[in-house]
Amino acid sequence: MISVGESSTCTECHSEGEEGYIIAELIYDKIKNLSSLYDSTKAISEKVNIMGMNNIEIEYSLKNIKQNLIQSRTLVHTFDTSEVFVKANEGILASYGAIKLARAYTGRSKIISFIRSYHGSTYGAITLSGISLNMSRKIGPLLPEIYHMPFPDTYHNSLGGAPEDAGKNCLDYLKYAFENYLPPDEVAAVIIEPIQGDAGIVVPPGDYMQELFKLCKENGILFISEEVQQGMGRTGKWFGIEHFNIEPDIVIMAKALASGMPLSALIGRKEIMEALEAPAHLFTTAGNPVCCAAALATIKVIEEEKLMENAEKLNKIAFERFTSMKDKFPFIGEVRGLGLSIGVDLIKDPVTKERNKEAAAKICYCAWQKGLLLSFFSNSVLRIQPPLIITEVEFNKGINIIETCMTDLQNGLLGDDILKVTKGW
């Protein structure tokens, strides 16, 4: 079923006949709109239409595209000896692959994840996640041997200590677990988001990340960076983990890798990638060559249009503008984030820092009415994660709308009836 635009109707499309060609054209249009760099994709699509998928020339072209992605130096630049493992359609399946590889390579079974992390909604991904009770209610048992640790939030310290001690508190908690119930010699990997996304764009302290990495190395534990939300230039660098000067053992990628086309990948050291043999992580449509072509073009667009530089520039604008608004709007608690991954945390009281879900819901609804798609998560955090191609003019226009909505909230113009409609995440 395909629906295009607000006034479109859903049409059942088949593999044969005119409607089938409509689907192909719609998909191709989505790819083409990314950049003129998709000429190679267009040429292959035309050959497929004429000669069919089983033609030897088509098979060679498709294989060549996938091989180019696997050998992309841009993707493997984090490591001196690494490989790209293109074996799935979305991030949750890449996460599964990371778990399999970690267990196979180390011969250990236990995996450490983090409270308030989000990795997806299938069984293994839900088990790794720790952000919503509704994700795990009624469906147990989940994947065994997954253990959750607190993630350092320097604004809302979940362990009750001073905000500036969040990193130390979380490290002490992990060490306490190692000493009492979680044998470190049985832990295969730590899977961590370099910035917790759905928890509210929580950036961990740099010294915490360095100490966690050191702890992993001392105990033979693989360090895995889950970059599904933060990777591909969003934070101003190719990968979020680069902000902490850490070379992880495995990187998990998806979402922006192919600009929304279904593709995920793993990057890791060669010896780890070779720990599994086929068909240990095999999927029917994994490594789709059209999606691989989209990924190659996405990489070129990010590089040639300097989108990471754009993310860093707009980050400074966002911090300057939202920080200056704190004097006018006391419900703005903290502005945080890297690149174009920014969170504006709304509070009810500056001392207790109680989350202000009502304010977040009303501001988002007001923004929607004024033409800006804005969401919030973690019950109180405005999610500022626009497309990397956004211009400075467009970005400032969006912030202007948010500021107008904050003014309306301050003046009591946004009623409680909004709360019946807007639920948030």
On whether residue 127 sits in a domain, the answer given is yes
Structurally, the chain folds into a number of domains equal to: 2
Residues linked to residue 266 through DSSP beta bridges, in sequence order: 85, 252
Residue 98 lies in a domain: yes
- Say if CB 111 and CB 146 are below 8 A apart: yes
Q: So what's the pLDDT on residue 293?
A: 82
| Residue ending a domain, choose from 240, 272, 304 | 304
What backbone phi and psi angles, to 5 degrees, belong to 291? Answer: -65, -35
Q: What are phi and psi of 190, to 5 degrees?
A: -110, 125
CA-closest candidate to residue 170, choices 186, 188, 192: 192
In a domain, 7, yes or no: no
Last residue of a domain, one of 255, 274, 304: 304
What are the start-end ranges of the E strands in 75-153?
A: 82-88, 110-114, 146-149
Expressed in angstroms, the distance from the first to the final Cα of the chain is 27
296 with 312, same domain: the answer is: no
Same domain, 290 and 405: no
Pair 182, 77 in one domain: yes
Determine, yes or no, domain membership for 176.
yes
What does the DSSP assignment read for 163-216? Answer: GGGHHHHHHHHHHHHHHHT--GGGEEEEEE-SSBTTTTSBPPPHHHHHHHHHHH
Q: Are residues 230 and 366 both part of a single domain?
A: no
d(CA 93, CA 73): 23
User: Are both 341 and 325 inside the same structural domain?
Assistant: yes
CATH number of the CATH domain containing 339: 3.90.1150.10
Residues 75 and 184 in one domain: yes
Rounded to two decimals, the pTM is 0.85
Query: 189 phi and psi, to 5 degrees?
Result: -160, 155
Residues 281 and 349 grouped into a single domain: no
Residue of 248, 228, 274, 313 whose CA lies nearest to 77: 248
**190 assigned to some structural domain:** yes
Residues of the chain falling short of pLDDT 50: 1-28, 30-38, 40, 43-44, 47-48, 50-58
Compute the distance between CA of residue 84 and CA of residue 273 in angstroms, rounded to an integer.
8
pLDDT tens for 313-324 read 999 999 999 999
Residue-level pLDDT at 197: 96
Per-residue confidence (pLDDT) for residue 24, from 0 to 100: 44
- Specify the CATH number for the domain of residue 220: 3.40.640.10
Predicted confidence (pLDDT) per residue in 48-65, tens digit: 454 444 444 445 555 565
Give domain status of residue 114, yes or no.
yes
Burial class (CB in 10 A: 0-12, 13-18, 19+), 425: middle
- 361 shares a domain with 222: no
In a domain, 148, yes or no: yes
Q: Provide the residue range defining the domain that includes 369.
A: 307-420
Torsion of CA 9, 10, 11, 14, to 10 degrees: 160
Q: Which pLDDT value is given to residue 196?
A: 97
What is the C-alpha separation between 61 and 66, in angstroms, rounded? 9
Final residue of a structural domain among 273, 304, 335? 304
Indicate whether 206 and 329 sit together in one domain.
Answer: no
pLDDT value, residue 382: 98
320 and 371 housed in the same domain = yes
Q: Does residue 142 sit in the same domain as residue 85? A: yes
If asked whether residues 267 and 412 sit together in one domain, one would say no
**43 inside domain:** no
